[in-house]
Chain A
Amino acid sequence: MLIRIIADVLIFIGAIFATAGTIGVLKMPDTYSRMQASTCISTLGMLGAALGALLYAIFVMGSASTAIKVCVIALLIFVTNPVGAHAIVKGAYRHGIRPEKPMEVDDFRRDFDE
């Protein structure tokens, strides 16, 4: 019973961070800040849900294979997510997307701008 409560609390924490990320994606002023806010969803939001599912799989379901699969899902998200983020951010910058309010410090533009 105690384990059930801990798992629920973990999933709830994950949901709180996912909500924060969603609010950020909707309200942030420019593309790059929106990308930053969405990182909240895929790290701690996902991690909370995965840890809750892991506890549930081990202690309530008693299934080792489900537990290991939850671990693999978390690991794969952690490995693949930053690769996509690099590609999107760099692609957006090279494509010429700039924030409306100019950035205070922009070393990338200073070094590479045409």
Chain B
Amino acid sequence: MRKTTFPAVLATFVVCFLFWIVLDFSFKVEELVAGAVVSLAVALFSARFFIHEKAGWFFNPVKLFNLLFYWICIFPVELIKANVDMAKRCFTGCTNINPGIVKIPVDMKSDYGQAALANSITLTPGTMTLDIAEEDGQTYYYIHWIDVTATGKEAGDAIKGNLEKGLRRVWE
């Protein structure tokens, strides 16, 4: 079983406490203290499930800024492009589709990075991650794509393009 380390507990505690403040939204001392106690208890029990790698990146302002930049500037642009494309297909009778499952290589080592990239791909309409596989040290995603125009590496560039570039600035 994984060991509970101090940075992991600290990171989990900060997340839990921020969530408490957001949901409660009163700044009386008693409520803040109650929230801190509950968050600490939750962090002590669940930190080893919540943090799988070094927790240090959570307190690195450059990486947090890059993550925020990804969420505010890069991802919404891709999301709107894909949504407009999907809406066009739906309004014109759902006939001009060519679905298929392609396998694309991904250059991302970190577990968090892989999860974030897979979730971003699933959130974009038109592409959806089925599975992650690893062969000879190279990670592959299986992606259901509504309009297959390429396979292999070109398909990877068309699907993940900017998303992977943005995420690689946060996770290696």
Q: Which residues of A contact B (CB under 8 A)?
A: 16-17, 20-21, 23-24, 27-30, 32-33, 35-37, 39-40, 43-44, 47, 64-65, 68-69, 72, 78-79, 81-83, 85-86, 89-90, 93, 99, 103-109, 111
Contact = CB atoms under 8 A, between A and B. Distances in A.
A86 B90 contact: no
Interface residues of B, number: 39
B101 A108 contact: yes
A108 B25 CA distance: 47
Contact of A106 (B80, B98, B100, B131): B100
Contact of A27 (B23, B90, B119, B124): B90
A20 B124 CA distance: 15
Contacts of B130: 86, 89-90, 93, 108
A37 B25 contact: no
B16 interface: no
A39 B122 contact: yes
A107 B103 contact: yes
B12 interface: no
B148 A104 contact: yes
A103 B83 contact: no
B94 A27 contact: yes
B101 A105 contact: yes
B59 interface: no
Nearest to A25: B90
Interface in B107-140: 118-120, 122-131, 133
A36 B126 contact: yes
